[in-house]
Amino acid sequence: MSMQMHNPPHPGEVLRELCLEPMGLSVTEAAEALGVSRKTLSSILNGRAGISPEMAIRLSKAFDTSPESWLNQQQQYDLWQALQSSADIKVKRLHAA
């Protein structure tokens, strides 16, 4: 198995700790700057919603980062979560004839 990052943080956590807190931004101020509702941003920060491609673009423009970096973090997080229950995923291995 390839090396998976151990329990990667939800990107919302990264957003809060590396972007909002250092800049002293409130959720309301950040949401306004990003052009999204406070509820939308709050859901991401609390790990209840993921970062969509559109949100990744908004974040990249606001914080001078790449949209790929946000989407990669989301993908790593989602994959790690799925791997936690991978034993329950029943698949029949397929072989070429």
Q: What's the pLDDT band for 4 if we cut at 50, 70, 90?
A: low
DSSP 24-83: T--HHHHHHHHTS-HHHHHHHHTTSSPPPHHHHHHHHHHHT--HHHHHHHHHHHHHHHHH
pLDDT in tens, 28-58: 999 999 999 999 999 999 999 999 999 999 9
Q: Does 86 reside within a domain? A: no
Q: Does 89 reside within a domain? A: no
Give which of 17, 13, 5 is closest to 81, Cα–Cα. 5
Q: pTM here? A: 0.86
Q: Does 80 reside within a domain? A: no
Number of domains forming the structure of the chain: 1
How far apart CA 18 and CA 37 sit, in angstroms, is 20
How far apart CA 92 and CA 38 sit, in angstroms, is 45
